[in-house]
Amino acid sequence: MKFEEIAKQLANPSGKFGIDVALGMNTMNEFISKTTYELLKIRDTESVLEIGLGNGKFIKDILNSGNKISYTGIDLSRTMIIEAKKNNSEIIKSSFLDLIVADIEQMPFWEDTFNKICTINTIYFWKNPALALKEVYRVLANNGVFIIAYRPYIEGQTLNFTEYGFKEYKTKDLESLIMHSNFKIIKKTEQIEPPIKFNGKTHNLLSQYFILQKKTNPYDYM
């Protein structure tokens, strides 16, 4: 696969090639995804929304976080939603699972619907970040937690996707964006990920996690 062809599929995978790219992204995103779910601190009976679930490989990790977890996943890609339903066909029979095609900027949910929301490596594709944050705030329940997980732009360590329509964020840029929203930053943490092979090279990437809350009191997350 050529790097350019892969990059063009990441925002909205489609067709057989998109399915293959998503399989590769499962390996790339396993660490950052599972770290995000741990940071969410999901409790029994909570309702969780994942924005940009891809092919749904890690849904079981969220459902295993507690008893009677309600999971909703959205993705821009119809191909990914179809794949996620295939990959979780048995889970769908026994758990509350809702997988739909939707855009973060216009989500088909009532206000205050979800206790926990996360999005992993999608912020690069948001067309209107301020509107996206406003929409997430709308559907998040009071006291609810929202985590943005991403790999910040660090010169010399980036995977160089910018020229393919990505917007890469430095830490200060994302923090500034959040500060202009209604969210409260509860915590910001980062991890050096295990070595990842991509495009013929081995990368030691840094992932960051902004933990946000729909509440002005930071101690409510403790």
Q: What confidence score (pLDDT) does residue 166 get? A: 73
61 versus 202: which is more confidently predicted? 61
The model's pLDDT over 2-17, given as tens digits with 9 standing for 90+, comes to 545 555 545 555 566 4
Q: Rounded mean pLDDT of the chain? A: 85
Q: What span, in angstroms and rounded, lies between the C-alpha atoms of 155 and 149?
A: 19
How many structural domains compose the chain?
A: 1
pLDDT at residue 158 in the model:
56
pLDDT in tens, 47-101: 999 999 999 999 999 999 999 999 999 999 999 999 999 999 999 887 789 999 9
Indicate the Cα dihedral angle 40, 27, 59, 170, nearest 10°: 40
Whole-model pTM: value is 0.86
Q: Any idea what the CATH number is for the domain that residue 217 is in?
A: 3.40.50.150
Cβ contacts of 186 within 8 Å, gap of 6 or more: 145, 211, 212, 213, 218, 221
Residue span of the structural domain in which 210 resides: 3-221
* Residue (of 190, 179, 178, 79) closest to 132 by Cα position: 178
Two tokens, residue 22: 């998503």
